[in-house]
Amino acid sequence: MFVPATSQTTLANSPTPPIPRASDSDVECLPPKECPEEAQSIPDIEHVPVANDPRKWSRARKARGISRFTVTLWIVSAAALLSTVASNIQNPTNSLIEKALHATSLQISWSLAAFIIVQGNFPLIWSAASEIKGRKPVYVAAFTIFVLAGAILANAQTIQVLIGMRVLQAAGSSAAIAISAATLADIYETHERGTMMGIFFAAPLLGPALGPIVGGSLSQYFGWRSGFYFLVASGGVILAAFLFLFKDTFRLERSLTYQVALRRRINSLVRLRPSSDSTVGERGPFKESSGVEASWPPSSDGPTHAPQPQPTLTDITLSLADINPFPPLWKIIQRKNNLAILLANGLVFAFSYCLSYTCTRTLTLYYGYDSLRIGLVLLSLGVGTVGGSVIGGRWSDRVLTKMKAQNEGKWYAEMRLYSATLAMLWLPPCVVGYAWVVEKHVHIAVVCVMLTLSGFFSIWMYTSTLAYLVDANPGRSCSAVATNSSFRGTLAFISTMIAVPLQEALGDGILYTGFAGLLIVMELLILLVMYKGVSWREECEKKEEVANH
C-alpha cells in the first residue's frame, strides 16, 4: 500500500499500486544468476517514490564530501555520544555516591546493571513507535524523558530514587542508539552507508572512554552530582536541536512495518463492513505477503446496487496500539543469517564491556591509578574503537563497490561481510596479547597499545556486520537495529555481572585468552553467513510468503 495517508482515494476504487520488492537495491539482493531479469524494472520498498525524498535532498542539506557532515548526521551522532557517555559517567563516582546516599555495594552494582539492560532492550519500544509516528517525535519524547529523569537524578536523596531515575534515563537515552542507524538508512544509499555508519558509530564508541574522564573530572572539583547536571544540560541542547533543526527522515511508504500494520487495519475494516455496503467485500480481504503490496481491484461486474460511500485512507489513522514490537523482533530473529550476526555482535560488545570494566579494576588494584588517570588510559580504547569505526566503515563501502563492479553491477547483502575478513586475522592475537600484558603488569604504555588494537579490530568488524543487518532487512532496518541493541545490551549485561568473579578466579591472562576463543567463534559465525546467508534469506522469504498467503 503506497498511497499516501493524505490521499482521498477510496478503498474500493483505488488504483492498484506497483508491486515493490523487499530489497535494498535496484535489484533483489540475490546473486546475479538468481536475479530475474524483470527485477530491474520493479522498485524495491526502499526506493518507492515519496514526497520530499530524503535521499534526494540537496547536497547543501546533506554534505559536500566527507569533510562536511549533514545536520542530521551531526545531531544523531551527538545524541548517540551523550547516550553512551551517560552509561559510563557514574563509574568514577560510585564510591562517593555510596558514601553520600548510605548505599551498599550491591545497590551501586544494580544502578549500573539496570542502566545497561534497559538501554539495550528499550529500543524495541522506540523502534516500533518510530515506524508509526516517525523518527522526530520519538527523538523528542525520548530526550524529554532523559532530561527530566536526569534533573531528578541529580537531586536524588536516596539510592532508590537514583536507581529509578537511572532506569528512566537509560530508557530515554536508548532511542538515539537504535533509531539513529535507521535514520541514516533513510537518507543514504547502500553504497554510502558503510562510510556513514562508520562515522556515526565513532561517536557512541567514544562515549565509554569519555564518560569516566568527564565524570571523574567534574566529581573531583564539584561533587558527584555535577556529572548528572552535565547530562541534563547536554541533553537539553540536543533536545532543542531535535525540535528546531532536525527534519524527519521517516517515510511511511518505505516502512514494511507500517505497511503491514496498515493492511491489518484495512482487513479489519473490510471484515466489519457488510459485503452489501462495500465493493471491497466482494473481492475478499487483503492478503499479506513477504513484500508490501496490497491491491484491491474492484469487481469487473460492479455491485448489484448503488454502493455506499467508501472509507478513505484519511479515515485510517494508525496508533501505537497497531504496532506490537515483538512480532518484528521475531521476524528478525527467525532468519538464521540475522541470528548468527546478532550473536556475533553481542559477543563483540560483551567483550568490550568486560574489557573496560575489568581494566578499571586492574588499573586501580595493580597500577594504583585514580579515576582521572584510569579515564585517560581507557581513552586509548576509545581512540581504537573510533579509528576502527571510521576506517572499517570506509573499507566496507570500498569492498562492496569493488565486488559489485566485478559482478556486473549486481550485488547481494553478504558482499558487505567480506570487508571484515582482514580484521578477523588480527583481533584474537591482540586480545591474547592484552591478556598477558596486564597479567604480568607490563608498563602502562604497552597496555594502552593493546587496548587500542583490540578496540580497533573489534569495531572494524562490527561496522561491517551492523551495515549488513540494515542491508539484509530492507523495510525493517529500525527493527533490525533495535534487535541488535537488545542482543548487545543483554550479553553486555551478562558479561558485566560475571566479569569480576571470573577475573578474581582466573586472572586477566586466562580470562581474556578464553575471550579470544569466543571471538574466534564469533568470526566463524560471520564466515558462515558469508557463505550461507543468501540461501538462508531465500528460504525464510519463501516461508513468509507461504504463511502470508
Q: What is the pLDDT of residues 319-328, one digit of tens each?
A: 555 566 677 7
Q: What angle do CA 449, 451, 456 make, to 5 degrees?
A: 95
pLDDT (average), residues 456-475: 85
According to DSSP, the residues that pair with 21 across neighbouring strands are 44
pLDDT above 50: residue 69: no
* φ, ψ of residue 10 in degrees (nearest 5): -85, 160
Out of 41-45, 88-92, 482-486, pick the least confident: 41-45
d(CA 393, CA 10): 46
According to the model, what pLDDT value does residue 64 have?
44
Confidence of residue 50 (pLDDT cuts 50, 70, 90): low
Is the pLDDT confidence value at 420 over 60? yes
Does the pLDDT of residue 260 top 50, yes or no? yes
Write the secondary structure of 324-377 as one string of H (helix), E (strand) and C (coil).
CCHHHHHHHHCCHHHHHHHHHHHHHHHHHHHHHHHHHHHHHHCCCCCHHHHHHH
Q: What is the pLDDT of residue 437?
A: 93
pLDDT at residue 284 in the model: 43
Q: How many residues does the structure list for the chain?
A: 549
pLDDT at 31 over 90: no
The more confidently predicted of residues 528 and 213 is 528
Q: At which residue does the C-alpha cell 535494498 appear?
A: 24
- Mean pLDDT is lowest, of 290-304, 379-393, 410-424, for 290-304
The tens digit of pLDDT for each residue in 158-199 reads 999 999 999 999 999 988 877 877 777 777 776 666 666 667
N-term to C-term CA, the chain: 17
| pLDDT the model gives residue 212 | 78
Task: Report which of residues 295 and 449 the model is more confident about.
Answer: 449
Average pLDDT value for residue range 263-277 = 61
Q: What is the mean pLDDT of residues 469-480?
A: 78
pLDDT higher for 47 or 439?
Answer: 439
Q: Return mean pLDDT, the chain.
A: 75
Mean pLDDT of 491-498: 83
Q: Residue written as cell 581513552?
A: 379
Asked if the model's pLDDT at residue 513 lies above 50, the reply is: yes
pLDDT at 340: 92
Mean pLDDT, rounded, for 33-52 = 51
Of the given ranges (36-40, 41-45, 299-303, 483-487), which has the lowest mean pLDDT?
36-40
Question: How large is the average pLDDT for residues 339-358?
Answer: 88
> Per-residue pLDDT for 309 more than 60?
no
CA separation for the pair 178, 122 (Å, rounded): 9
- Whether 155 has a pLDDT exceeding 80, the answer reads yes
Lookup result for grid cell 546467508: 533
Delimiting residues of CATH 1.20.1250.20 domain(s) in the chain: 65-199+206-244, 324-548
480 vs 231, higher pLDDT: 231
Asked whether the beta carbons of 278 and 296 are under 8 A apart, the reply is no
Whole-number pLDDT of residue 324: 67
pLDDT of residue 237: 95
* pLDDT exceeds 80 at position 276: no
- Give, in order, the Cα–Cα distances in Å from 472 to each of 65, 87, 168, 248, 536: 26, 30, 32, 23, 11
Is residue 345 packed enough to be buried (19+ CB in 10 Å), middle (13-18) or exposed (0-12)? buried
| Greater model confidence, 115 or 64 | 115
What's the confidence (pLDDT) of residue 430? 94
Which pLDDT does position 504 carry in this prediction? Answer: 86
% of the chain at pLDDT higher than 70 = 71
Given this model, what pLDDT does residue 295 score? Answer: 42
pLDDT number for residue 252: 62
Is pLDDT above 70 for 55? no
User: Between 411 and 232, where is the model more confident?
Assistant: 232
What is the CATH code of the structural domain delimited by 65-199+206-244? 1.20.1250.20
Q: Looking at domain 324-548, which of 3.30.43.10, 3.20.20.70, 1.20.1250.20, 1.10.357.10 is its CATH number?
A: 1.20.1250.20
